């Protein structure tokens, strides 16, 4: 006998809460985290890039993007696009991929994931990207890059059928945006104004704290139910984040003799990123190892890889999200424990094929995100232009693009 899907009020209440928590991660979490790291003349522009990314994604998501990302699978490639503008959907229609909650809240949960993914890319190009270019980039990137990848991994597409594991967005969100950020900043070229110092590190600390808080909705919410799996994801998320913060602080002490606040919050974000794909599959022990190690990878990418290859990733989006997201996806294949979630069995628990599937997932996301981001950047550059003038960059974008200032003095 097949059980009949029934709306569960506890699950629905938790998913309403989780969705609000993930929204908090973009506005104001990412906005403040990035806003504090730029020079004061760019603070409003930086905040605005996150806020408008959320707004644009919110509109196109309900018009068509959700339906193609999470509609009934068509040959493993894309959703069928039924119910455009949610025609035929009522407040009591249950989500096919989460049959104890309404499709309205399931779609809203997936919406806030899409919004933060594209907002994160902005950190690589703050201070030198035309705002109108960003307005064009956001809907194009969500449509061409994010929607297919999210369908392949989460919407019943070919990577999900293959067996790739990504509980809450290691490849779909973080590797995806990290690769896009790398391609976009290389295409755009280095900054003319090299005096990029945090103008208000306190903003960034508040932003990082909001990210840490909201990330419980990100990871525990991805269980899609209020139960044991959500509880496990909650605990390991906090564990990995704390371990990564501590390990980055130790690196700072070893390298410079002094711990730094910027290093500590950077390590915390790396830990949040790395645990994301693994949060629904790993034990506390796995989370400790995963989180502690990830800071070393991202620190190396930031301090050696970037200078070595000369790309100008302003706020190190690739080092933090791309590298830690990649490590998290690999670590999921290593540490996925069947006693946490029988849907995932990693190499250390007897399934070496899981690493193969993880590598295919990683390679696919790198190729798709990198290739199409380059195409999108080229098209925008050749039509409306990507980069501000040298004078606008040096003066700051708040006044030159928005005729506003974040401060009176």
Residue 409: pLDDT band by 50, 70, 90 thresholds?
low
Q: Give the other-Cβ count within 10 Å of 389's Cβ.
A: 13
260-298 pLDDT, tens digit per residue, is 999 999 999 999 999 999 999 999 999 999 999 999 999
Instruction: Evaluate the omega torsion of the peptide bond into residue 31 and state whether it is cis, within 30 degrees of 0.
Output: no
Q: Which residues pair with 355 in a beta bridge?
A: none
* Number of Cα atoms under 13 Å in the Cβ half of residue 153: 27
Strands 78-79 and 73-74: antiparallel
Over residues 251-262, the mean pLDDT reads 96
**How many CB atoms are located within 10 Å of the residue 163 CB?**
17
pLDDT of residue 2: 36
Alpha carbons within 13 angstroms on the beta-carbon side of residue 366 total 12
Q: Where are the alpha helices (DSSP H) in 163-317?
A: 176-188, 201-220, 228-256, 261-275, 284-300, 306-309, 317
- Given a cut of 70, whether residue 3 has pLDDT beyond it is no
With cut-offs at 50, 70 and 90, classify the pLDDT of residue 4: low
Q: Over pLDDT 90: what percentage of the chain? A: 95
Q: Where are the domains of the chain?
A: 17-402
* Segment 49-83, tens digit of pLDDT: 999 999 999 999 999 999 999 999 999 999 999 88
Residue range 151-207, pLDDT digits in tens: 999 999 999 999 999 999 999 999 999 999 999 999 999 998 777 679 999 999 999
CA dihedral (176, 143, 311, 320) in degrees, to 10, reads: -30
Instruction: Please write the tens of the pLDDT for every residue from 308-327.
Output: 999 999 999 999 999 999 99
Residue 1 pLDDT greater than 50, yes or no: no
Arithmetic mean of pLDDT, 82-103: 92
Which phi-psi region, left, alpha or beta, contains residue 227 (left: φ > 0; alpha: ψ -120 to 50)? beta
The CATH code belonging to domain 17-402 is 1.10.3430.10
Is a pLDDT exceeding 70 seen at residue 241? yes
Contacts of 303 (CB under 8 A, 6+ apart): none
Residue 254's contacts (CB-CB under 8 Å, 6 or more residues apart) are none
| pLDDT score at 83 | 87
What pLDDT does 335 receive?
A: 98
293 Cβ neighbours under 8 A, 6+ residues apart: 247, 327, 331
Report the pLDDT value the prediction gives residue 193, as an integer from 0 to 100: 79
Q: What is the pLDDT of residues 109-163, one digit of tens each?
A: 999 999 999 999 999 999 999 999 999 999 999 999 999 999 999 999 999 999 9
Mean per-residue pLDDT over the chain, rounded: 96
Burial of 338 (0-12, 13-18, 19+ CB in 10 A): middle
């Amino acid at each position: 006998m097949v059980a009949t899907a029934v709306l569960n009020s506890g699950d629905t209440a938790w998913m309403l809460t989780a969705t609000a928590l993930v929204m908090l991660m973009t506005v104001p979490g990412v906005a403040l985290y990035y806003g504090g790291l730029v020079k004061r003349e760019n603070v409003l522009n930086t905040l605005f890039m996150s806020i408008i990314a959320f707004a644009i994604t919110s509109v196109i998501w309900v018009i068509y993007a959700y339906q193609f990302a999470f509609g009934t699978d068509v040959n493993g490639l894309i959703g069928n696009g039924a119910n455009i503008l949610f025609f035929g959907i009522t407040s009591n229609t249950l989500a096919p991929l989460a049959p104890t909650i309404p499709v309205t809240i399931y779609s809203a949960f997936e919406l806030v994931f899409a919004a933060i993914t594209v907002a994160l890319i902005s950190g690589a190009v703050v201070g030198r990207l035309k705002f109108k270019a960003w307005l064009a980039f956001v809907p194009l990137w969500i449509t061409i890059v994010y929607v297919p990848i999210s369908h392949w991994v989460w919407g019943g597409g070919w990577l999900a059928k293959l067996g790739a594991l990504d509980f809450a967005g290691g490849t779909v969100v973080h590797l995806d945006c990290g690769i896009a950020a790398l391609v976009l900043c290389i295409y755009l070229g280095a900054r003319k104004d090299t005096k990029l110092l945090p103008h208000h590190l306190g903003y960034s600390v508040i932003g990082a704290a909001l990210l840490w808080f909201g990330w419980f909705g990100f990871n525990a919410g991805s269980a899609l139910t209020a139960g044991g799996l959500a509880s496990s994801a909650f605990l390991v998320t906090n564990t990995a984040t704390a371990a990564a913060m501590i390990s980055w602080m130790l690196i700072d002490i070893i390298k410079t003799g002094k711990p730094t606040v910027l290093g500590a919050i950077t390590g915390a974000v790396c830990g949040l990123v790395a645990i994301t794909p693994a949060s629904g599959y790993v034990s506390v022990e796995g989370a400790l190892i995963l989180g502690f190690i990830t800071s070393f990878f991202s620190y190396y990418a930031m301090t050696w890889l970037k200078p070595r290859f000369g790309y100008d990733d302003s706020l190190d989006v690739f080092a933090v999200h791309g590298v830690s997201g990649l490590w998290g996806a690999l670590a999921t294949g290593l540490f996925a424990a069947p006693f946490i979630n029988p849907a995932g069995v990693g190499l250390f628990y007897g399934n070496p094929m899981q690493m193969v599937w993880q590598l295919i997932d990683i390679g696919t996301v790198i190729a798709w995100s990198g290739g199409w981001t380059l195409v999108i950047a080229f098209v925008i550059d050749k039509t409306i232009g990507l980069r501000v003038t040298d004078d606008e960059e040096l003066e700051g974008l708040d006044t030159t693009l928005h005729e506003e200032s974040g401060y009176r003095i």
